Protein backbone atom coordinates (compact mmCIF):
# COMPACT_ATOMS: atom_id res chain seq x y z
CA UNK A 1 0.00 0.00 0.00
CA UNK A 2 2.77 2.45 0.93
CA UNK A 3 4.52 1.74 -2.36
CA UNK A 4 1.37 2.42 -4.36
CA UNK A 5 0.86 5.72 -2.55
CA UNK A 6 4.47 6.73 -3.16
CA UNK A 7 4.52 6.01 -6.88
CA UNK A 8 1.04 7.45 -7.34
CA UNK A 9 1.93 10.72 -5.62
CA UNK A 10 5.41 11.04 -7.10
CA UNK A 11 4.44 12.83 -10.36
CA UNK A 12 2.73 15.58 -8.34
CA UNK A 13 5.83 16.40 -6.26
CA UNK A 14 8.48 16.18 -9.00
CA UNK A 15 8.32 19.94 -9.76
CA UNK A 16 8.70 20.67 -6.05
CA UNK A 17 11.65 18.27 -5.80
CA UNK A 18 13.39 19.91 -8.76
CA UNK A 19 12.88 23.34 -7.22
CA UNK A 20 14.30 22.22 -3.87
CA UNK A 21 17.31 20.73 -5.62
CA UNK A 22 17.89 24.03 -7.44
CA UNK A 23 17.74 26.25 -4.33
CA UNK A 24 19.24 23.91 -1.72
CA UNK A 25 22.63 24.96 -0.30
CA UNK A 26 25.50 22.73 -1.43
CA UNK A 27 27.71 21.90 1.53
CA UNK A 28 31.07 20.18 1.00
CA UNK A 29 32.28 17.11 2.89
CA UNK A 30 33.96 17.81 6.22
CA UNK A 31 37.55 18.98 6.06
CA UNK A 32 40.52 17.43 7.79
CA UNK A 33 42.12 13.98 7.69
CA UNK A 34 39.92 11.00 6.87
CA UNK A 35 41.55 9.06 9.70
CA UNK A 36 42.50 9.56 13.32
CA UNK A 37 42.49 8.00 16.77
CA UNK A 38 40.81 8.52 20.12
CA UNK A 39 41.46 7.26 23.63
CA UNK A 40 43.91 4.89 25.22
CA UNK A 41 43.81 1.18 25.93
CA UNK A 42 43.35 -1.93 23.87
CA UNK A 43 43.42 -1.22 20.11
CA UNK A 44 40.18 -1.13 18.12
CA UNK A 45 39.91 -0.45 14.38
CA UNK A 46 36.78 1.44 13.26
CA UNK A 47 35.93 2.04 9.60
CA UNK A 48 32.98 4.09 8.37
CA UNK A 49 31.63 3.63 4.85
CA UNK A 50 28.71 5.19 3.05
CA UNK A 51 27.09 8.46 2.12
CA UNK A 52 27.32 12.12 3.15
CA UNK A 53 26.89 11.21 6.83
CA UNK A 54 30.17 9.28 6.68
CA UNK A 55 31.71 12.11 4.63
CA UNK A 56 30.72 14.49 7.43
CA UNK A 57 28.67 16.97 5.41
CA UNK A 58 27.38 19.58 7.85
CA UNK A 59 30.43 19.46 10.12
CA UNK A 60 33.56 21.54 9.71
CA UNK A 61 35.95 18.69 10.39
CA UNK A 62 35.57 14.93 10.04
CA UNK A 63 36.62 14.33 13.62
CA UNK A 64 33.44 16.23 14.65
CA UNK A 65 31.18 14.25 12.30
CA UNK A 66 29.66 10.81 12.87
CA UNK A 67 32.77 8.62 12.68
CA UNK A 68 34.95 10.91 14.77
CA UNK A 69 32.21 11.35 17.37
CA UNK A 70 31.49 7.61 17.48
CA UNK A 71 35.18 6.82 17.86
CA UNK A 72 35.55 9.30 20.71
CA UNK A 73 32.54 7.94 22.60
CA UNK A 74 33.46 4.32 21.86
CA UNK A 75 36.96 4.86 23.24
CA UNK A 76 35.46 6.19 26.48
CA UNK A 77 32.91 3.36 26.70
CA UNK A 78 35.44 0.58 26.10
CA UNK A 79 38.59 2.14 27.57
CA UNK A 80 40.17 1.55 24.17
CA UNK A 81 42.36 3.30 21.65
CA UNK A 82 40.09 3.57 18.63
CA UNK A 83 41.81 4.10 15.29
CA UNK A 84 39.19 5.32 12.83
CA UNK A 85 38.91 6.04 9.13
CA UNK A 86 36.02 7.27 7.02
CA UNK A 87 35.23 6.34 3.44
CA UNK A 88 32.21 8.44 2.53
CA UNK A 89 30.88 10.21 -0.53
CA UNK A 90 28.26 12.93 -0.74
CA UNK A 91 25.32 11.69 -2.83
CA UNK A 92 26.31 8.01 -2.75
CA UNK A 93 23.49 5.51 -2.93
CA UNK A 94 23.81 1.79 -2.25
CA UNK A 95 24.95 1.03 -5.81
CA UNK A 96 27.73 3.62 -5.66
CA UNK A 97 28.88 2.37 -2.26
CA UNK A 98 29.08 -1.17 -3.64
CA UNK A 99 30.74 -0.36 -6.94
CA UNK A 100 32.99 2.58 -6.07
CA UNK A 101 33.63 2.77 -2.33
CA UNK A 102 34.03 -0.87 -1.36
CA UNK A 103 37.08 -1.30 -3.64
CA UNK A 104 38.69 1.62 -1.77
CA UNK A 105 38.54 -0.02 1.66
CA UNK A 106 41.93 0.01 3.39
CA UNK A 107 43.61 -3.42 3.52
CA UNK A 108 43.75 -3.46 7.33
CA UNK A 109 40.90 -5.48 8.78
CA UNK A 110 38.28 -3.66 10.83
CA UNK A 111 37.01 -4.58 14.26
CA UNK A 112 33.90 -2.45 13.73
CA UNK A 113 32.26 -1.06 10.62
CA UNK A 114 29.78 1.81 10.71
CA UNK A 115 27.57 1.97 7.62
CA UNK A 116 25.30 4.80 6.49
CA UNK A 117 23.34 4.44 3.27
CA UNK A 118 19.78 4.87 2.06
CA UNK A 119 18.76 8.52 1.82
CA UNK A 120 20.14 8.79 -1.70
CA UNK A 121 18.37 5.55 -2.60
CA UNK A 122 15.15 7.33 -1.65
CA UNK A 123 15.91 10.37 -3.79
CA UNK A 124 17.32 8.36 -6.70
CA UNK A 125 14.24 6.10 -6.71
CA UNK A 126 16.09 2.83 -6.18
CA UNK A 127 13.73 -0.12 -6.62
CA UNK A 128 13.03 -2.07 -3.45
CA UNK A 129 14.38 -5.32 -4.92
CA UNK A 130 17.64 -3.57 -5.84
CA UNK A 131 17.83 -1.89 -2.44
CA UNK A 132 17.51 -5.18 -0.59
CA UNK A 133 20.02 -6.90 -2.89
CA UNK A 134 22.52 -4.05 -2.53
CA UNK A 135 22.47 -3.83 1.25
CA UNK A 136 22.69 -7.61 1.55
CA UNK A 137 25.70 -7.63 -0.75
CA UNK A 138 27.26 -4.73 1.14
CA UNK A 139 27.09 -6.62 4.43
CA UNK A 140 28.47 -9.77 2.81
CA UNK A 141 31.35 -7.82 1.26
CA UNK A 142 32.26 -6.16 4.55
CA UNK A 143 32.18 -9.57 6.23
CA UNK A 144 34.49 -10.97 3.53
CA UNK A 145 36.90 -8.06 4.07
CA UNK A 146 36.95 -8.47 7.86
CA UNK A 147 35.50 -11.87 8.85
CA UNK A 148 35.48 -11.21 12.60
CA UNK A 149 34.21 -7.63 12.45
CA UNK A 150 31.06 -6.20 14.01
CA UNK A 151 28.87 -4.18 11.62
CA UNK A 152 26.71 -1.30 12.87
CA UNK A 153 24.23 0.00 10.31
CA UNK A 154 22.57 3.38 10.74
CA UNK A 155 18.87 3.53 10.01
CA UNK A 156 17.43 6.09 7.63
CA UNK A 157 16.65 9.49 9.16
CA UNK A 158 13.09 10.86 9.44
CA UNK A 159 12.91 12.69 6.12
CA UNK A 160 9.35 13.73 6.91
CA UNK A 161 10.82 16.10 9.55
CA UNK A 162 13.66 17.66 7.53
CA UNK A 163 13.44 21.49 7.56
CA UNK A 164 14.66 21.82 3.96
CA UNK A 165 11.81 19.77 2.52
CA UNK A 166 8.44 21.47 2.00
CA UNK A 167 5.05 19.80 2.14
CA UNK A 168 3.93 17.56 0.52
CA UNK A 169 7.41 16.49 -0.68
CA UNK A 170 8.61 15.71 2.84
CA UNK A 171 5.61 13.45 3.45
CA UNK A 172 6.17 11.50 0.23
CA UNK A 173 9.92 11.11 0.76
CA UNK A 174 9.37 10.27 4.43
CA UNK A 175 6.98 7.52 3.42
CA UNK A 176 9.56 6.01 1.08
CA UNK A 177 12.32 6.35 3.68
CA UNK A 178 10.28 4.38 6.22
CA UNK A 179 9.79 1.58 3.68
CA UNK A 180 13.52 1.35 2.94
CA UNK A 181 14.32 1.63 6.65
CA UNK A 182 12.11 -1.33 7.53
CA UNK A 183 13.66 -3.44 4.79
CA UNK A 184 17.15 -2.44 5.90
CA UNK A 185 16.35 -3.44 9.48
CA UNK A 186 15.20 -6.88 8.32
CA UNK A 187 18.39 -7.47 6.31
CA UNK A 188 20.66 -6.37 9.17
CA UNK A 189 18.84 -8.39 11.82
CA UNK A 190 19.23 -11.52 9.68
CA UNK A 191 23.00 -10.97 9.31
CA UNK A 192 25.64 -12.29 11.71
CA UNK A 193 27.40 -9.92 14.13
CA UNK A 194 25.44 -6.93 12.87
CA UNK A 195 23.24 -4.39 14.57
CA UNK A 196 20.68 -1.94 13.23
CA UNK A 197 20.79 1.43 15.01
CA UNK A 198 17.67 3.40 14.23
CA UNK A 199 17.93 7.13 13.66
CA UNK A 200 14.89 8.16 15.65
CA UNK A 201 15.39 11.62 17.11
CA UNK A 202 13.63 14.83 18.02
CA UNK A 203 14.21 16.89 14.88
CA UNK A 204 14.91 20.17 16.65
CA UNK A 205 16.63 22.96 14.66
CA UNK A 206 19.98 22.73 16.48
CA UNK A 207 20.44 19.15 15.25
CA UNK A 208 20.54 20.27 11.62
CA UNK A 209 23.23 22.12 9.71
CA UNK A 210 22.29 25.39 8.01
CA UNK A 211 21.18 23.52 4.91
CA UNK A 212 18.27 21.99 6.85
CA UNK A 213 19.19 18.56 5.55
CA UNK A 214 22.44 17.29 7.08
CA UNK A 215 23.27 16.99 10.79
CA UNK A 216 24.99 19.73 12.71
CA UNK A 217 27.99 18.97 14.93
CA UNK A 218 25.51 18.72 17.81
CA UNK A 219 23.40 16.24 15.84
CA UNK A 220 26.47 14.19 14.94
CA UNK A 221 27.61 14.12 18.56
CA UNK A 222 24.24 12.94 19.84
CA UNK A 223 23.96 10.15 17.29
CA UNK A 224 27.64 9.21 17.61
CA UNK A 225 27.22 8.77 21.37
CA UNK A 226 24.09 6.67 20.84
CA UNK A 227 25.85 4.54 18.25
CA UNK A 228 28.86 4.04 20.52
CA UNK A 229 26.69 2.92 23.43
CA UNK A 230 24.85 0.41 21.25
CA UNK A 231 28.08 -0.91 19.73
CA UNK A 232 29.77 -1.23 23.15
CA UNK A 233 26.78 -3.10 24.58
CA UNK A 234 26.64 -5.44 21.58
CA UNK A 235 30.38 -6.14 21.75
CA UNK A 236 30.11 -6.89 25.46
CA UNK A 237 27.27 -9.29 24.75
CA UNK A 238 29.35 -11.15 22.16
CA UNK A 239 32.25 -11.85 24.51
Rounded distance between C-alpha atoms, residue 159 and residue 215, angstroms: 12
**Topology of domain 2-237, per CATH?**
Rossmann fold (3.40.50)
Other Cβ atoms less than 10 A from the Cβ of 104: the count is 9
pLDDT of residue 165: 84
* Burial readout 23-46 (b: 16 or more C-beta within 10 A, e: otherwise): eeeebebbebebbbbbbeeeebbb
Q: Among candidates 210, 200, 228, 205, which has minimal Cα distance to 68?
A: 228
Pairing of strands 35-38, 80-88: antiparallel
Question: Looking at the whole model, is its pTM more than 0.95?
Answer: no
pLDDT of residue 163: 86
Domain chopping of the chain, boundaries: 2-237
9-39 pLDDT per residue, tens: 666 566 676 767 776 778 889 999 999 999 9
Amino acid sequence: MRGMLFWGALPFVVPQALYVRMIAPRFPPAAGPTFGSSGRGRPLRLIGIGDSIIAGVGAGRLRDALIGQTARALAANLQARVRWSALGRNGANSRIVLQQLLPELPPDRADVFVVSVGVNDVTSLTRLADWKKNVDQLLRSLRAHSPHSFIAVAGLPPLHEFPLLPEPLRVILGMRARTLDEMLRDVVVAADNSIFIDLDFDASPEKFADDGYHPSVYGYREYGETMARRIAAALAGNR
